[in-house]
Structures are given as structure tokens and as C-alpha cells.
Amino acid sequence: MPGRPGQGAVVNPFIVAIDGPAGAGKTTVSQMLARRLGCLYVDTGALYRGVAVLAMRRDIGLDDDLGLAKLCENLKMDLELTPDATRVLANGEDITAGLRTPEVSMAASAISARPVVRAWLLTVQRSIGTKGSCVFEGRDMGTVVFPDAKFKFFLTADPRVRAVRRHKELTAKGPAPSLVEVERDIRLRDRNDSTRSTAPMAAAPDAIFLDSTEKNADEVVKSMLEIIREAQEIN
């Protein structure tokens, strides 16, 4: 469901692509921006996490391309888009609650390197993009999935700061790994995600870089809105 159009809502459908590494604040910023613009919010990491959960459940190796291809072929993945979350339904079962564990994060990073999974999810993502204006967050939104997106941002932050944020999020939910483990995982995922051969995490040449190391979500969203509004006024 789209959020209610906020101040500055624009009329023509458009896509905002927000890429960047884990913990840079993409989720908070993308949700806030989607609300302000009155458009759909799509967390594409949830899709990779959904495939990873199913592979783990079925004991499919995270590099078993045939097994992963078969899994995708028989998978009906539906999404429920709300302003606060991308809920994932796999063959009718809502699997959203199990998507955010550290194990699933690492498994999602591993399967996201498999071209067969990326190709399948490319279609899923592009079909959502036809539904109206959307803010998509991910790793390859501006480079591969929506190279013609009207607005492209690459949001980054110092890895230590990202680890502290992610650790805080995890401890708020219950028993969590130590900060050292969280930072190690974040650095490992950064490496996996940016060095894989298919659609690595990268900033599109025409993306605007924003660094959230010393900025809170409000400040980042304010910068984005200024850029978007300025472009809308010009066009």
C-alpha cells in the first residue's frame, strides 16, 4: 500500500534508487523518503533474504546453482508493501519474521552472488517498479535493476559506525552477537557484495553520494528531498 502523499509529493511516476552497504541507514531513510513522497517503499534485501531462508530450510547449498534454480522455478514470491516493511510471502507463507537474523544476512549475501538468483529476482523487482512511484533500496538498483531511475543515491558510512548501529538494532530485539562479531560480519558482507562478478554493489556513475557517518536520518532525507524537489522544479 502506498503511504499517504506527504509534503512535496510529485505526480508523475518515478523511481528513487538507494544503494549502499549494510548499516548505512538505507532502510530508515528509504522509508522516511517514501512517506514524504507518498510512494511505495521496497526493500530488495528482503527478497534475497527470503530466497536464502528457503534454501537453508531445504538444505540447498548456497552455491548450488541447480538447486537454487529449481527453488526459484517453483517459488511463488508475493510481496506486501507497507510503508514500514516489505513483507515476503513464499508460496503463501509469510516468512518475514525470520528474515533478519545474522545467519540469514550472511546466507543472503552468499546467494546474492549466484547469477541464477539475481536473474530471477530482477524480474520480480522490475515488475514492482511498474506499479507506480517507488523508493527501492538495495545494492544494484541504480546500476542494474533500474539504470534509468530518475533519482539515484549511494548512501554510505564508516564501517565502524555502521557496525555500532547494526549492533544496537540487534540488541534491541534480544540476545545479539558482540559488536566485534557484528563489525566482522559487516566487513565480510561488504567484501562479498562488492566483489561478486554479477551486479556487484556499486554506485552508478550518475548516483549522488551521501555519507551518513555524521548525519542522522532526518538530515539525510532532507538532503535527498532538496535534490528531488530541485529537479522536479527544473523539469
- Indicate whether 185 belongs to the interface with ligand DC (CB under 6 A): no
- Indicate whether 193 belongs to the interface with ligand DC (CB under 6 A): yes
Interface segment toward ligand DC; rule CB under 6 A; list 62-70, 134-142, 168-176, 211-219: 134-142
Instruction: Provide the sign of the torsion angle of the four alpha carbons 127, 77, 45, 64, taken in this order.
Output: negative
Q: Which is nearer to ligand DC, 7 or 130 (CB)?
A: 130
- At 105 the three-state DSSP class reads helix
CA dihedral 228, 220, 192, 158 (to 10 degrees): 150
- Residues numbered 85 to 114 that lie near ligand DC (CB under 6 A) are 105, 108-109, 112
Q: Which is nearer to ligand DC, 38 or 210 (CB)?
A: 210
Upper half-sphere CA count for residue 217 (Cβ side, 13 Å)? 13
Convert 46-76 to b/e letters by CB count within 10 Å (16 or more is b). bbbbbbbbbbbeeebebebeebbbebbeeee
Kindly write out the interface string for residues 34-63 of this chain, putting x where it contacts ligand DC by CB under 6 A and - elsewhere. Answer: ----------xx--xx--------------
- Indicate whether 139 belongs to the interface with ligand DC (CB under 6 A): yes
Residues that bind ligand DC (CB under 6 A): 22, 44-45, 48-49, 105, 108-109, 112, 138-140, 189, 193
